[in-house]
Amino acid sequence: MEEHLLGLVFGVFLILVATRTIISEIRKKTQNKGQPVKTDTELIHSGKTIAIGVGLGFFGGVASGLLGIGGGTLIVPIMAIALGMPIHYATATSMFTMIFTSISAVTKYYQSNLINFPVALTLAAGSIVGAQVGAYTSKKLSGRNLTLIFGIILIIAGINMIIKYM
């Protein structure tokens, strides 16, 4: 029963995050175009921002570990909305952090003998190719279009979670 409730709540949460992401992108003023990218110092400007990032990152890691979803589903909106990172930097940073979160999760799942290696290797091969295509395509898109596409994908993921756990 708890699994169904967690899945439903998470699905609704994804839809809410996606809706906020899309609405805030649509509301942005066009005069922000061409502004220089914020420096690291500007992005992480206070202990409060760091605490928010660490706390929400922890939540994203727990949720992805519990539900078997990619952490980017949560981490990218966290970096874009809560930390004010440009979407291109947020997606690239999320991909980088996946190296460490994946190693951590794989170690734990391997110790529990829960990995289906033929399926995992097949998915890994497709993921490697897909990641290259995604990174190439991302560079071709404007930040606005990338954010809107990401929001739509989050809505689809949220609806999928709700259907799965109903």
Q: Which sequence spans correspond to the domains of the chain?
A: 41-154
Q: What is the pTM of this model?
A: 0.71
**Mean pLDDT, to the nearest integer, of 86-93?**
87
Residue written as token pair 């990641």: 131
pLDDT confidence band for 31 (50 / 70 / 90): very low
Question: Distance between CA 162 and CA 166 in Å, rounded?
Answer: 6
**pLDDT at 32 (0 to 100):** 52
Mean pLDDT, residues 41-60 taken together:
76
- The pLDDT score that the predictor gives to residue 44 is 64
Contact in structure between 91 and 71 (CB atoms under 8 Å): no
